Amino acid sequence: MKRLELICLMVLLITISFRYTEKLWKKPLDWPEPVYNFKKNPLDSATVQLGRVLFYDPVLSSDSSISCASCHSPYNAFTHVDHALSHGIKDRIGTRNSPVLVNLAWGKSFMWDGAVNHLDMQALAPLENHVEMDETLPHVLQKLAKQEKYRRLFEAAFHSETMTGERFLKAISQFMLTLVSSDSKYDRVLRGENGIQFTEMERKGYALFKEHCASCHTEPLFTNQTFQNNGLAPDSILQDVGRMKITGKSSDSLKFKVPTLRNIERSAPYMHDGRYRSLQMVLFHYSTDIHSSATLAPQLRNGIRLSEDDKRNLIAFLKTLTDNTFLNNKQFQYPRTIK
């Protein structure tokens, strides 16, 4: 009998846990199943909140000047603005444009070259990078342990003040997992909400998008998460070989992860090195400025033929991917109320 009671209790607890996770994170209708295994890190509000506080705290950097949010601002779809390349402590300049943080539960790999294989481990990369936060995980945990606020937040999240690398990383993951963008005009049109329709320009742009862009920027995530050479001429100063740095394969030379286009209106500059400051420049690249090389994506061998009208229509469509519900969500912003 006792055994049965124990099993019932466990089933109840697991059910409650999943329901609670669902409140904090819900798969949008008709979206694929997430890649992230929530069973190994079930979301709860206290842990999400801890992750959020950590995300905005510059104590994560060696001189306490740079937080995750320094390069991933919520107002810019969690990327930075006005910088081609991300910059870290002491004005050190990195080699890549910071990517947006959105819909990460579906991420198969992270960073422009896919160097990070799991969301939980993502935060380690900037934390220990010399030109970003230049810290070490043990030292950050030591600094956090000295703060009463963090002892309280860890206790609330894990029922223990003990700060481990696993808990730290999983808390940041939990916050990042909540950053779901699925309420743009595009989403509302597809859901048929309140009779919302595309304008004529947006409709034409969507048709062009499906013809020329969707093979890589696949809906609904607007990325197929592969690594592609999209015909950017190599930068002679950065000399960034992209995915090849990780795999060592020449067939991966100059390939970078296909970024999502969600909220692209707000996430300039564009490309892995932030070389284009506007969507007009991006479309100029795809239509007339493709650099040919051995690993160039086959779809781009002849460029994409676009008239000026086509470009305007495409940009009109891309702007329908702006999700103001996401961009203005106070739950994602600096946690002013937590002291």
Q: Which residues participate in the annotated binding site for heme c?
A: 68, 71-72, 213, 216-217
Is 46 or 124 the residue whose CB approaches another protein more closely? Answer: 124
Shortest distance in whole angstroms from residue 52 CB to another protein:
17
Shortest distance in whole angstroms from residue 69 CB to another protein:
19
Is 41 or 79 the residue whose CB approaches another protein more closely? Answer: 41
Shortest distance in whole angstroms from residue 249 CB to another protein:
9
* Closest by Cα among 123, 143, 141 to 69: 123
CB 306 within 8 A of CB 283: yes
CB 110 within 8 A of CB 36: no
Is 115 or 214 the residue whose CB approaches another protein more closely? Answer: 115
Shortest distance in whole angstroms from residue 240 CB to another protein:
14
CB 266 within 8 A of CB 327: yes
Q: What is the dihedral of CA 221, 225, 226, 232, to 10 degrees?
A: 80
Shortest distance in whole angstroms from residue 166 CB to another protein:
4
3-state secondary structure 216-274: CCCCCCCCCCCEEECCCCCCCCCCCCECHHHHCCHHHCCEEECCCCCCHHHCCCECCCC
Element holding 155 (H helix, E strand): helix 148-158
Residue type, 324: N
Shortest distance in whole angstroms from residue 171 CB to another protein:
10
Is 168 or 317 the residue whose CB approaches another protein more closely? Answer: 168
Is 50 or 119 the residue whose CB approaches another protein more closely? Answer: 119
Residues that bind another protein (CB under 8 A): 37, 40-41, 115-121, 124-125, 127-129, 136-138, 141, 164-166, 169-170, 173, 246, 248
Which residue is listed with tokens 């870290």?
A: 88
Which residues make up each annotated binding site?
Answer: 68, 71-72, 213, 216-217
Is 196 or 246 the residue whose CB approaches another protein more closely? Answer: 246
CA 236/CA 215 separation, integer angstroms: 29
CB 79 within 8 A of CB 71: yes
Is 127 or 258 the residue whose CB approaches another protein more closely? Answer: 127
- Strand, coil or helix: 182: coil
Shortest distance in whole angstroms from residue 169 CB to another protein:
4
Element holding 209 (H helix, E strand): helix 200-212
CB 140 within 8 A of CB 60: yes
Is 141 or 196 the residue whose CB approaches another protein more closely? Answer: 141
Q: Sign of dihedral through CA atoms 169, 175, 177, 179?
A: negative
* Closest by Cα among 323, 21, 24, 36 to 190: 323
Shortest distance in whole angstroms from residue 131 CB to another protein:
11
